[in-house]
Copies of this chain bind each other. A is one copy, B any other.
Amino acid sequence: MTRAERAQLAMMLEVCAYPKPGNVDRCHDYDDTRLEHFLASALFVRPAFDRAEEGGPGLGALIREATSRTSTHGGGNTHFGAYILLIPLIAGDGISGASAAVKKTTVDDALDFYAAFSMTQVRMHHSDELDVNDPATLGIIRDRGMTLYDIMAHSAPGDMVAREWTNGFALTRKAADLLHEAGCGRHAIVEAFVRLLASETDTFIIKKHGREVAERVREQAAEVLAGTRNLESFDSDCIAAGINPGSVADLIIAGIYVALGEGWNWDC
């Protein structure tokens, strides 16, 4: 299996795993984003992953290409956060290579990343001075000579995906370890998902619903693990409230990618 195929497989396995509280899965669609949109993205992204594997252009241009190729359907942004993790992991052939690669990013990577960002409807803090919706942002990046690594460091306090670039992909590593511990196959993905959700406050939920809601979701996931809350009803409650732990999903995709490279067995 090539690295590109492994990354596609990770995207496919994550979205199919169920029940996955609050997120699109085999049994749940959102009105505007459906299972098929996620799977179409996993198909259409291939050339960008191939180029990452071949040592193609910079990480920013690759994230831009991945986003562009998968913005052709009506499902909106499906995997922007996942690409922020997968592209360096593919290009660097694993966590240590990825950690080195992200530090070498340039101002051009940052500008390409913002071009990709503008294709999505990814949420940002309204107070962020690097708001993608503000044309002045590109000028700030150029004036300050900010690299894509600098951008991620700027976002790291409030965004657990960006933070991976600055902490050696710590939660990606944790997600992969959770998969190894949980055994093989689709049930391990669900278990790793719930465990990560129970131990980390999802920053995507914070941006959308505030910290209080995100903390409650984390506690509810812990109750599922403790056996005091039913996973299916937790899922239904999240869906009903429009709560989707999107950043945890991105980290699980990255964790599946890493674990597959370490021999983790999806097919049992």
Contact = CB atoms under 8 A, between A and B. Distances in A.
Contacts of A13: 36
A43 B73 contact: no
- Residue of A8, A26, A36, A44 ringed by the most chain B CB atoms within 10 A: A36
A116 B105 CA distance: 45
A27 B74 CA distance: 23
A42 interface: yes
Contact of A36 (B37, B40, B73, B186): B186
A43 B267 contact: no
Majority DSSP secondary structure for residues of A touching B: helix
Contacts of A222: none
* A-side interface size class: 20 to 34
Contacts of A44: 1, 5
Contacts of A75: 267
A93 to B, nearest CB: 20
A156 interface: no
Given A26-B35, A35-B16, A74-B267, A43 B40 contact: no
A9 B43 contact: yes
A26, A27, A73 — which one has the most chain B CB atoms within 10 A of its CB? A26
Contacts of A8: 43
Interface of A: 1, 5, 8-9, 12-13, 16, 26-27, 35-37, 39-40, 42-44, 46, 72-75, 186, 266-268
